[in-house]
Structure 1
Amino acid sequence: MFKLLQRSPPMPPPIPATSRLREFQDYWSGIGAEGVIPGRQHIQPGDIPGLLPYILILDYTNGQYRCRLAGTAIVEGLGQELTGRVLDDELLGSAFAGWFRRLETVRRQARPLSGEENLWWLSRSYRNFHWLCLPLASDGRRVDKLLMCIDWT
């Protein structure tokens, strides 16, 4: 079991904290058509093989976020598989409300958001990580997925 503690308030980019997150944001900024929000259909995994282990794709449906894909570095870092799971208080515990607000900010405002967190385990110490969450819109306008990158520090 782990517990997420917010280390710094979420902040909008333009400059993500790590080179991995900058690469991730640069990729997202370069896909899709000018003036529209990129969609999942624009992501080509072969273009970003070094980022794939650090990526989450979250589907938004009926007021919930379900993990469509969790990269191997995320699964290893958390010690559990997230793919197919709904992000809720059962999964995230007391951190759920804060994470839900962050995800909703990205979805509703259709803009990137980033931050730095601590991940605490009851039986171990902690790890820091930086994150960047980006909107995806299948139709170019309405955000229906979130693309997230987590960089363990």
Structure 2
Amino acid sequence: MPPLTLAPDHGSLMSQPLSDLVGRFRQERLQVLEPESAVGKLADHPKALTLFRAWQKWCRGRICPERADVEPLDIPALLEYIVLLDVEERDFRFRLVGETIANRYAIRLKGKTITQLMAGSSLDETLYEHRRCAQDRRPVLVTHTDAMTSLGDTRSYSRLLLPLGAQGPRASHIIGVMQFYR
């Protein structure tokens, strides 16, 4: 698949259908998961699997749980690997950042948006991944291996993004977990 080009005002894409979303990304690192079959696809990602199972419990038969349904006591071993983001009109703002993630990136993430922290192709990919989660209101698994370091991120990790808040046309928050491999 040839690289796509980012529309000039990529921030306004949040309200457009995903079929119109363009940007440069590597599809092989992104999986939009069906909740019914996600457990098998998360088997190699133990932290993601643990958060996914808690998320399923919080759903209580709904498409996704509300932010108020998140119970940290259900995931105490994950808290240092968790992020909570507010879905804004054009971006995603870090509301909570676990200690391991904060230490790994060595910059203050809390309170900042993705576009304040990233640029170029990495920004395009990251916004696309988060938009897919928020707009589709489905789990998104991102894997970044040593073979995928062409965008300048030398970290090997997996990241699971899960939507929170089913009212309205998209999720109002995203909860995620990162698992670092080196």
Q: Taking structure 2 as the reference length, what is the TM-score of the superposition?
A: 0.71
- More helix by percentage: 2
Q: Taking structure 1 as the reference length, what is the TM-score of the superposition?
A: 0.83
In structure 1, the residue matched to 2:158 is 130
Tell me by how many angstroms 1:36 deviates. 3.4
Tell me whether 1:101 sits opposite 2:121 in the alignment.
Answer: no
In structure 2, the residue matched to 1:91 is 117
Higher relative contact order (CA 8 A, sep 6+): 1
Moved beyond 2 Å, runs of 4+? 5-9, 138-142
C-alpha contact 2:137 2:166 (8 A) present in aligned 1: no
Tell me by how many angstroms 1:138 deviates. 6.1
* Residue from 60, 64, 84 that aligns with 1:37: 64
In structure 1, the residue matched to 2:30 is 10
Identity of aligned residues (%): 21
Aligned length: 144
Which runs of 5 or more structure 1 residues have no equivalent in the other structure? Answer: none
Give me the CA root mean square deviation. Answer: 2.4
Which runs of 5 or more structure 2 residues have no equivalent in the other structure? Answer: 1-24
C-alpha offsets along residues 99-124 of structure 1, whole Å, 9 cap, x if unaligned? Answer: 1111111111110110211597xxxx
The DSSP-based 3-state class of the residue aligned with 1:131 is: strand
In structure 2, the residue matched to 1:144 is 172
In structure 2, the residue matched to 1:77 is 104
C-alpha offsets along residues 16-49 of structure 1, whole Å, 9 cap, x if unaligned? Answer: 2311111111110111321331011001112211
Structure number with greater Rg is 2
